[in-house]
Amino acid sequence: LHWKHHPHVEEKEHCNVAIEPFGYLSLVSDGLHNFIDGIVIGVSFMVSIPVGIASSVAIMLHEIPQEIGDFGLLLQAGFTRRRALLYNFISALFAILGTLLAIFLGQSATNFTQITLPLAAGGFIYIAGSDLVPELHKITDPRKSAIQFFAIIVGIGLMMLLLVVE
């Protein structure tokens, strides 16, 4: 992405540092991402409690490393540690807004859950197919491949366990 810019300036340890536009772009896209995660959580709980719990755990597990990466990206863009943490936290709050919207619309719109949940599932499948699987193919060490295969089997087993519990 090439973006001509006039970066904002922020005080950073007694000197002026230009904030790169990709930092702001990251905040906006992460806020939207978190908002959609919130919608997925809200819709999942409307389907059933076990589906809601499974979705919440899956989202939480992928959010932890992502938010750490976002923090590093904001630092690289020129934000101070304090502002990077604050803005990252504000971005995370959009998940709550998404959850509330899903619950509010889900009760008033009869097809909301039937439309939103497959779209969310499709998004997760797309991410797995386009980003994760190609990365798995880069690993040639049989030991690491075995660990990855075991992790996939554990994930499938957990999903099957949720079906039994539900």
- The Cα–Cα gap between 54 and 96 comes to 17
Model confidence band, residue 3 (pLDDT cutoffs 50, 70, 90): very low
- The Cα–Cα gap between 117 and 98 comes to 13
**Per-residue pLDDT at 93:** 95
Q: pTM for the full model? A: 0.66
Residue 22 and residue 1 in contact, taking contact as beta carbons nearer than 8 Å? yes
Instruction: Give the 3-state secondary structure of residue 166.
Output: coil
pLDDT in tens, 17-33: 788 888 898 898 888 88
In sequence order, the 6+-apart residues with CB closer than 8 A to the CB of 102 are 38, 39, 40, 41, 42, 43, 46, 112, 116
**Per-residue pLDDT at 113:** 66
pLDDT in tens, 22-78: 889 889 888 888 998 898 898 888 888 888 888 898 888 888 888 888 898 899 899
pLDDT in tens, 101-146: 988 887 666 577 677 767 777 776 776 777 677 777 788 888 988 8
